Amino acid sequence: MSELQQKAIGMINGLSDDNISFLIEIINRLMPQNEKADAIIEPAENEGRKMQAFKRLNAAREEISQYLPDDFDPERELEEARMEKYGSID
């Protein structure tokens, strides 16, 4: 093992589990996706990451909703945008 690899392992050993999960996520984004890289992550840990992502998404939705008007109707907005872009089929 190279000196640089030993230094990296020493640094990783000092991280909390949350920081290690974050580090794994960064490494996965930097490395080409392949089966070997996916095998590094345990299934239970992968499920935990999915739940964390869902919680972040949900929190973002709640935060964004504060900037929308009280009478905001996404279905109506979508229909109006379709009518503006495509017009009526009739």
Residues 40-74: tens digit of each pLDDT: 556 667 778 888 899 899 888 888 888 888 888 98
Q: Indicate the pTM of the whole model.
A: 0.34
* Every domain of the chain and the residues it spans: 1-41, 42-90
pLDDT of residue 17: 83
3 state SS of 67: coil
pLDDT at 16 over 80: yes
Band (pLDDT 50/70/90 cuts) for residue 11 is confident
pLDDT band at 81, cuts 50/70/90?
A: very high
42/12 Cα distance (integer angstroms): 17
